[in-house]
Amino acid sequence: MTFTSFSPIQVQQINSTQQQPLVLKQGQVFHGTIKKLYPDQMAEVQIGQTKLFAKLETPLKAGDSHFFQVTSMNPQAQLKVVTGPIQPSQSVAQQVTQLLEMMNLPKTAAMQQLVAHFLKNQLPLSKEQLMYGENWLNELPANTTKQEALMAIQKMVELKMPFTNEIFKGFILGGKTNGMSNAISNFTTILMEDQSISSSAKTQLMQQLQTISKPFTMETGSIVLSKAIQILLTDTESFIHKTQLFNLLKAAEIFPKNTMIDNWLSESFQQHKTLINHSNQPSASQLIQNVVSAKLNEVPQIIKEVQSWISNQNQLPNEQKIELQQLLTRFESLPLNKGTVEWFAQQLHKQLIIAFSENTTPIFSKEQNSTSIKDQLLSLLKPEMMTTSSALLNIVKVVNESPQPFLQTMLLQAEAEVQTAIDSKAIEQALKTILKGLGMSYEASFNHKIQDFQEATQSLKPQLLTIINDPQTSQVLKEAADNIVSRLNGMQLHSGENGHQHQLIMQIPLHFLGKHTEATLQWNGRMKEDGKIDANYARILFYLNMNTLKETVVDMQVQNRIITIHLYNDLPQLEQLAEPLKEKLKTGLLEKNYHLSGLFIKSFEKTDSTQVSNNLTESKEETKSHNGVDIRV
């Protein structure tokens, strides 16, 4: 069973907010009932759950239902009756036919289905919107049902969205629970063979796609870099291997092109001498620059800065901190002149490179607001370094393209180290990398500082928009790019807020440990008065499609930090697989101050699929069940 789309979810414990007020526009037609009559042909008209006051062009009788058309909205709504009183015996089909004739619309199957849907859901409709809707129903995107299209059109009306192809496709594709991975894979295949865009644009796109498909690439590149530096600084490795690693770092632009294998360290130090970048809280690179540029009368203060900086480096073990302190003590015993200051700066530069290259673990650990180990190492090697992510991706790219067995073996070992180190923190980091790489928050970066905006422009979405708008881009590549952009736009269209109630939709392609899958997350909760998410109440659905477990839906409800989980899957052995993980789940939630009240495992075959995918608005107290497996903790 495959879930192709979702319906909005609500949290039963959270009071639903009022629906958005109905806003009528001139020319719209709607079904309404006269509730009360007032002087001067004013009347109270009920449309669905909404009541409004309007002026009628002709006298009517209270209690009758009609189809009305808005003829004016200034200064108040003015309505024209377009049909006589609707009799209770009239069928929907008769009402549809009557409306189509009145509005001079074609009586095609798609148009009749569309008007019937509008009538059933008591939506105001206009001739222009119906014509757009008919075209969309006749030209549905691949793997899209008419019901999904009707719901998308309804959403566009309810949210007062412009009736454009882009928004319609966004609602359709953004509401899918699968297909993002295939869309990206299809685009990648077409891009590799396409000749309509420049090589530089193609390279940049391929690099971003690699970041998304392999979110641990930077960690792999970081390990390769650290091991390469360690080997270059030792005397035990063969000269051939050293040369291969040296050429690798040159090709990855870590070392300048004119650097020689016997002077790369001194060349790196010389770059620090020409850059002056004082900072109150310097990185390793800035620390070296501050030392080498210090005047003699500033040296005592610089020594205090170095001592403080070394003490605060929690990423370095005590043994290395002691060695650095010993270097500092030795410098203090020397005569103070420009020569000894430069000697100290050069030795400190070398010792820090050794220290940070030898400390690659824990791979995914990084203290908040601190500079990572890989950032420190790269800044020491090349102070005018490109972004860390680009540098590390370059390293992996060069190794992948290299025919040298030694480099290939080193890459495989690095990937194995990364896979062994993967934990919950790594998964969290990977998800952030994927979402950032996709460009989910690209538009939001417009209001941020320049650096954030420039970084956001390197994400996938703005690059796809560029090639879509480029007249030189081939049509097949544009269509593949538009498929991804529509999904990204759709996530934003389906996400939103209604008072304190918020909904968030995310489709995430996942490529972990050589496995390709994807997950769709649908979160519904509320915001506190300070604008932050209320972590005490939420409803979260995970739509997963995995190699072994196949289609899986996880419905997690949080009420006052008490969690109930319903898991839907057809795998018979899931009860045995879940049993040993039950206590671990309970313990992990307790560490976050959440309490697990129950885990209920059901099969799709024994569960109404409509209840699973669409009717997830009710939270029922589970009793003993003979359908599937109930696990209580």
The 8 Å CB, 24+ separation contacts for 212-215 are 212/184, 212/433, 212/434, 212/437, 212/438, 212/460, 212/509, 213/184, 213/188, 213/509, 213/511, 214/511, 215/429, 215/430, 215/431, 215/433, 215/434, 215/437, 215/511
Provide the residue count of the chain: 633
* Confidence band, pLDDT 50/70/90 cuts, at residue 432: confident
Is a pLDDT exceeding 90 seen at residue 556?
A: yes
- What is the Cα–Cα distance from 318 to 387, expressed in whole angstroms? 29
In-domain check, residue 455: no
Q: Using the 3D structure, point to which of 89, 123, 146 is the last residue of a domain.
A: 89
In-domain check, residue 216: no
- What is the Cα–Cα distance from 442 to 485, expressed in whole angstroms? 12
In-domain check, residue 2: no
Q: Please report the pLDDT score of residue 66 as a whole number.
A: 79
The neighbouring-strand residues paired with 502 are 497, 525
| Cβ contacts of 567 within 8 Å, gap of 6 or more | 552, 553, 554, 555, 574, 578, 599, 600, 601, 602
What domain count does the chain have?
A: 3
* Confidence band, pLDDT 50/70/90 cuts, at residue 624: very low
- What is the Cα–Cα distance from 60 to 149, expressed in whole angstroms? 37
pLDDT digits (tens, 9 = 90+) for 3-31: 666 665 543 333 333 445 566 778 888 88
- What is the Cα–Cα distance from 172 to 614, expressed in whole angstroms? 16
Quick one: 625 exposed, middle or buried, by C-beta within 10 A (0-12, 13-18, 19+)? Answer: exposed
Within this chain, do residues 502 and 593 fall inside the same structural domain, yes or no? yes
Q: Please report the pLDDT score of residue 10 as a whole number.
A: 45
Whole-Å CA distances, 549 to 423, 429, 541, 552: 20, 24, 17, 7
Within this chain, do residues 523 and 623 fall inside the same structural domain, yes or no? yes
Per the model's pLDDT, the better-predicted residue between 50 and 588 turns out to be 588
Task: Look at the alpha carbons of 451, 391, 232, 219 in this order and tell me if their dihedral is positive or negative.
Answer: positive
Within this chain, do residues 270 and 417 fall inside the same structural domain, yes or no? yes
Angle formed at CA 478 by CA 474 and CA 479, multiple of 5 degrees = 120
Q: Please report the pLDDT score of residue 207 as a whole number.
A: 83
- What is the Cα–Cα distance from 50 to 63, expressed in whole angstroms? 16
User: pTM score, two decimals?
Assistant: 0.74
In-domain check, residue 491: yes
In-domain check, residue 255: yes
- What is the Cα–Cα distance from 517 to 588, expressed in whole angstroms? 24
Within this chain, do residues 550 and 405 fall inside the same structural domain, yes or no? no
Question: What crossing angle do the helices spanning 475-494 and 460-468 adopt, rounded to 10°?
Answer: 130
Per the model's pLDDT, the better-predicted residue between 84 and 43 turns out to be 43
DSSP 18: P
Within this chain, do residues 518 and 597 fall inside the same structural domain, yes or no? yes
The neighbouring-strand residues paired with 543 are 520, 553
pLDDT digits (tens, 9 = 90+) for 493-506: 888 776 667 888 88
Within this chain, do residues 401 and 478 fall inside the same structural domain, yes or no? no
Whole-Å CA distances, 507 to 5, 235, 427: 11, 50, 15
In-domain check, residue 41: yes
Beta strands in 390-476 (DSSP E): none
pLDDT digits (tens, 9 = 90+) for 265-288: 998 888 888 775 544 446 888 889
pLDDT digits (tens, 9 = 90+) for 376-430: 888 899 887 657 778 888 899 899 999 999 999 999 999 888 888 887 778 888 8
Binning the chain into helix, strand and coil, the percentages to the nearest 5 are 50, 15, 35
Closest CA relative to residue 287, chosen from 348, 338, 367, 196: 348
Closest CA relative to residue 143, chosen from 172, 171, 184, 119: 172
DSSP 298: G
| Domain range enclosing 369 | 223-421
Other beta carbons within 10 Å of 516: 15
Within this chain, do residues 512 and 628 fall inside the same structural domain, yes or no? yes
